[in-house]
Amino acid sequence: MSNNKTTYEAAYAKLRTAYITRLEGNITDLTKWIRDVSATPLSKEELLNMQSLAHGLSGSGTTFGFPNVTDAGRNADIFLEKMIRAIRGDDDFIKGDEHPEMLPLLQSIHDACREAVTNYKEQAALEIIPATHEEKLNFEAKKNLFVLIVDDDINLRNMISMKLEQRGFIAAGAGSDQEMIVSMEKRLPDLIILDLNLPDNSGHEVLRRLKSEPAHAAIPILMLTAAAKEADVVSALHSGASSYIVKPVDINRLSERVEKISANMRRTVLVADNDQLILALLQSKFKGRGFNVVLTNNGLSTFEHAQRVKPDLIILDIAMPGMDGISVLKMIRNDKKTKDIPVIIASAKTTPADIAAGMAAGAQDYVPKPFNADDLVHRSIALLKKEKANDT
């Protein structure tokens, strides 16, 4: 739970930054209205626009930590609703100077937004970016890895859990196939330790089922077998198990093996998108699956990051400031250091011509926006698995 909280707080900070950008946009609208409200008559449409803004702020300000924005928005929302009820038709107008409450109400939302933006920027200036950012990312990624231990022996489960938690993993146990299914609905594990001889369903069957479901097929599985029966081991590896350990379990060897498998999983994804909300969401989703995540919101710096970080995968938006995604992709493909990095384009440009242009520039996949973040992460994992298979 404390780990989820860390992920949550990082993502919340990003969402809050995006909210500040929205408030800055609102300040621009409010400044214009404040200037015009006494001079020009207001149509129903303009009043509805004002009310929509006031209502939105009243419902969101406190959620993002700005209660004054909510209060000012709520007062204006109530007043504007009365004005809209009083207006007689689409052609009717209201004169702002005949309603002396109007100007101060708009002014108070403006001031509350301005105050929120100023406070936020002062706070942000105080935060120091750690020098060892990449190191920190590695540590966080390891902390995030979730290992599920499926064995009917509760003592063994507990012993393995304790050992892995000491080494910085999150571990949970399941005593049966059924318990495993329930646990996986709550949170998908990054690694499964599976006993081959489960009471209610043989381990082989569980293994085959896991490997046949697209959402689970990419999860590495470490098998435990009661004895080194050659046929058992061959069959398990054939069904897709990553590795096996013979019982009675040597707990230190087991934890070394888990470290080794998970080291391969600590891969880096570079996400390039000019939308802060998408960056925050994908960061949280990828981190949840054990990835290191590097973010950028600018086309030009995407290529620089790709060269420097050498990520295992790039998620690339097309419409970005600095340089568009297609040009970035062409640069990536033309550079010796970056040419083999798989790229998934995630874009709101979705005509067949756009998609053809993206694939021609060298993308491995093209995901239309709006996308489901979980699907995108699954596709990424599947793509990385495919790339790895092609390498060897």
Partner 1 sequence: MTDTAHLSQILYVDDEPDLRMLAQLALESMGGMKVSLCDSGAAALQALATLKPQIILLDVMMPEMDGPALLQEIKKTPGLYNGPIIFLTGKANADEIVHLKSLGAFGVIPKPFNPMTLHNDVKAMWVAFHEQQ
Q: Is 4 in the site for partner 1 (CB under 8 A)?
A: yes
Q: Is 361 in the site for partner 1 (CB under 8 A)?
A: no
Q: Provide the minimum distance between the beta carbon of 280 and partner 1 in the complex, in angstroms, as a whole number.
A: 7
Kindly tell me which of 17 and 364 has the beta carbon lying closer to partner 1.
17
User: Is it true that the peptide bond before 214 is cis, omega within 30 degrees of 0?
Assistant: no
Q: Is 62 in the site for partner 1 (CB under 8 A)?
A: yes
Which string of x and - marks every residue 266-305 that binds partner 1 (by CB under 8 A)? Answer: -----------x--xx--x---------------------
Q: Provide the minimum distance between the beta carbon of 206 and partner 1 in the complex, in angstroms, as a whole number.
A: 21
Q: Is 169 in the site for partner 1 (CB under 8 A)?
A: no
Q: Provide the minimum distance between the beta carbon of 67 and partner 1 in the complex, in angstroms, as a whole number.
A: 8
Q: Cα dist. 21→24, 64, 355 in Å?
A: 5, 12, 30
Burial label for 87, CB within 10 Å (0-12, 13-18, 19+), is: middle
Task: Report d(CA 176, CA 152) in Å as an integer.
Answer: 6
Within 10 angstroms of residue 91's Cβ, the number of other Cβ atoms is 8
Q: Is 59 in the site for partner 1 (CB under 8 A)?
A: yes
Task: Report d(CA 42, CA 173) in Å as an integer.
Answer: 64
Q: Which residues pair with 174 in a beta bridge?
A: 150
Q: Which amino acid is at 172?
A: A
Say if CB 345 and CB 338 are below 8 A apart.
no
Residues in Cβ contact with 268 at an 8 Å cutoff, skipping those fewer than 6 apart: 291, 292, 293, 294, 309, 310, 311, 312, 313
User: Is it true that the peptide bond before 248 is cis, omega within 30 degrees of 0?
Assistant: yes
Kindly tell me which of 64 and 120 has the beta carbon lying closer to partner 1.
64
Which string of x and - marks every residue 180-209 that binds partner 1 (by CB under 8 A)? Answer: --x--xxx----------------------
User: Do you know the residue count of the chain?
Assistant: 392
Q: Is 362 in the site for partner 1 (CB under 8 A)?
A: no
Q: Which residues pair with 367 in a beta bridge?
A: 346
Kindly tell me which of 20 and 164 has the beta carbon lying closer to partner 1.
20
Say how many residues touch partner 1, by CB under 8 A: 31
Return the range that interacts with partner 1 (CB under 8 A); candidates 70-78, 208-216, 221-229, 291-299: 70-78
Q: What is the DSSP letter of 324?
A: -
Residue 373: phi and psi, rounded to 5, are: -60, -40
Kindly tell me which of 141 and 361 has the beta carbon lying closer to partner 1.
141
Kindly tell me which of 74 and 216 has the beta carbon lying closer to partner 1.
74
Which parts of 11-50 interact with partner 1 (CB under 8 A)? 11-12, 15, 18-19, 22
Q: Which residues pair with 193 in a beta bridge?
A: 149, 222
Kindly tell me which of 158 and 178 has the beta carbon lying closer to partner 1.
178
Kindly tell me which of 53 and 294 has the beta carbon lying closer to partner 1.
53
Residue of the chain from 26, 58, 297, 347 that contacts partner 1 (CB under 8 A): 58
Which string of x and - marks every residue 72-111 that binds partner 1 (by CB under 8 A)? Answer: --x--x----------------------------------
Say if CB 20 and CB 120 are below 8 A apart.
yes
Q: What is the DSSP letter of 294?
A: E
The 3-class SS string of 121-144 reads HHHHHHCCCCCCHHHHHHHHHHHH
Kindly tell me which of 288 and 311 has the beta carbon lying closer to partner 1.
288
Kindly tell me which of 22 and 99 has the beta carbon lying closer to partner 1.
22
Q: Provide the minimum distance between the beta carbon of 56 and partner 1 in the complex, in angstroms, as a whole number.
A: 6
Task: Report d(CA 227, CA 247) in Å as an integer.
Answer: 6
Residues that bind partner 1 (CB under 8 A): 4-5, 7-8, 11-12, 15, 18-19, 22, 52, 55-56, 58-64, 70, 74, 77, 182, 185-187, 277, 280-281, 284
